Amino acid sequence: MKSVFQEPKGTTKHFNQVNSLIDIAAEKQKAIDDWLPITSSRNAKWWYSAFHNVTAIVGAGVLSLPYAMAGLGWGPGVVILTLSWIITLYTLWQMVEMHEMVPGKRFDRYHELGQHAFGEKLGLWIVVPQQLTVDVSSCIVYMVTGGKSLKKFHDVVCPNCKEIRTTYFIMIFASVHFVLSHLPNFNSISVVSLAAAVMSLSYSTVAWAATLHKGPLPDANYSYKSSTSTGAFFHFLSALGEVAFAYAGHNVALEIQATIPSTPEKPSKIAMWRGVVVAYIIVALCYFPVALIGYYYFGNSVDDNILITLEKPAALIATANMFVVVHVIGSYQIFAMPVFDMLETFLVKQLMFTPCFRLRLITRTIFVALTMFIAICIPFFGALLGFFGGFAFAPTTYFLPCIIWLHIYKPKRFSLSWITNWVCIIFGVLLTVLSPIGGLRNIIISAKNYKFFS
């Protein structure tokens, strides 16, 4: 007599087929992950984290910090600069901690952390538009900055040469990225990023050292730059955004940590945090001397790029501008890599394209060409620092990590963690609301005297 527990005929074969299909799907998924830029390499050391973070955070915006100080004034300027350094270090620590908060899982991308906190769809819509705005706008700003720094180098080295349009220098700068953008992942651009980190410290040092060499203006004025109270108010708001723009590395923090190996005994957060601490020490050495010495010596007459104020010694200023060019080459690549990852993930996983070099070549070439074209069309894009600094950079850097932390960990009300996070959220929301107002006014003023393809 047959047992009632006897396995039906063909069941074992069916299970084997299902398991085989699951294994094939897992292998295919692993092959895709091994091809995508963020997850293809996990052998980075802690010092990779250090110079990747320096390259991401210390943009050419450091050169506009004295100008931001002129808009803020001594008291508010020092407070906001210091608070921003402390708050963004704290929110970066939160992101490092949350990277592996779920045992056996890594949130390799910012939007994956958002999806864990807010749900698959809502998390995607909250994080991805903001992260894309930050990454793409940064690439365009760096395209403009690179082109203008090349032009400045040319004009200083050869003052009697024929005038060359900024457009052509932007195209020269872009030509480098048509090559570098095809490097597959973060680890492959580590040499470029290291050079960029060294350059950021170098041109920041040149900026404040040359300021000391030139000496203070005899009639340095520390009153607000604008003669009207309305103008001073809008300049103050715009300066808030310029400071926020200077702390923008959080958008690629999880992606950088994804390149570091991790085991239960030695999680990636240990190496990542060590690199972050070193990076933030370098950030302080870059930001505070440039901002405070530049403003102290030149007052409200400082230009929006302190290297423009420092015309002499010519050889040193020319060298500093080339340092800026090398730095923004690295910065462009750091901010472009998450965009490449999003585009390639969408094409391969959603549209089912085959992962290959040709797909990568077409996708990345189009992106570089697009950012170059926008930079050529609106080379005053640097005026958008204040607008984008508050509108997009402040949320992802100053308070979105805090909201995610409160939502997931739910600290006790009025505890130190609860209070700290809410202080960061309030400060960040104020930046987000106020600074785009001043930035938008600057855009309107800049557009009055603007010519396309200048």
Whether the upstream peptide bond of residue 313 has omega within 30° of 0, thus cis, is yes
**393: its two tokens:** 């950079």
Distance CA 305, CA 141 (A): 14
Give the per-residue pLDDT at 14. Answer: 59
Three-state DSSP state, 411 = coil
Whether the CB-CB separation of 363 and 344 falls below 8 Å is answered with: yes
Low-confidence ranges of the chain (pLDDT < 70): 1-26, 28, 60, 226, 311-312, 379-390, 446-454
As a whole-number percent, the residues of the chain with pLDDT over 70 amount to 87
Three-state DSSP state, 277 = helix
Give the per-residue pLDDT at 448. Answer: 65
Is 310 exposed, middle or buried, given 0-12, 13-18 or 19+ CB atoms closer than 10 A?
buried
| Cα–Cα separations (whole angstroms), residue 165 to 147, 169, 275, 352 | 10, 7, 40, 43
**390: its two tokens:** 């508050």
Distance CA 340, CA 350 (A): 15
Give the per-residue pLDDT at 381. Answer: 55
Give the per-residue pLDDT at 221. Answer: 76
| Cα–Cα separations (whole angstroms), residue 150 to 24, 65, 138, 157, 215 | 51, 21, 18, 11, 26
**426: its two tokens:** 């309030």
Task: Find all residues with CB under 8 Å of 83, minimum gap 6, and list them.
Answer: 427
Overall pTM surpassing 0.75 (yes/no): yes
Distance CA 276, CA 295 (A): 28
Give the per-residue pLDDT at 388. Answer: 66
Give the per-residue pLDDT at 6. Answer: 55
Give the per-residue pLDDT at 228. Answer: 77
Give the per-residue pLDDT at 162. Answer: 85
Displacement of CA 401 from its chain's centroid (Å)? 15
DSSP tag of 452? T
Give the per-residue pLDDT at 1. Answer: 47
**87: its two tokens:** 């708050």
Look-up: residue for tokens 């009153």? 223
Distance CA 431, CA 438 (A): 11
Distance CA 239, CA 354 (A): 46
Task: Find all residues with CB under 8 Å of 208, minimum gap 6, and list them.
Answer: 289, 290, 293, 294
**392: its two tokens:** 């997009």
Find, among 287, 251, 242, the residue nearest to 132 by Cα.
Answer: 251
Task: Find all residues with CB under 8 Å of 136, minimum gap 6, and list them.
Answer: 339, 371
Give the per-residue pLDDT at 310. Answer: 75
- 176 C-beta neighbours (distance < 10 Å), count: 17
Find, among 430, 387, 330, the residue nearest to 84 by Cα.
Answer: 430
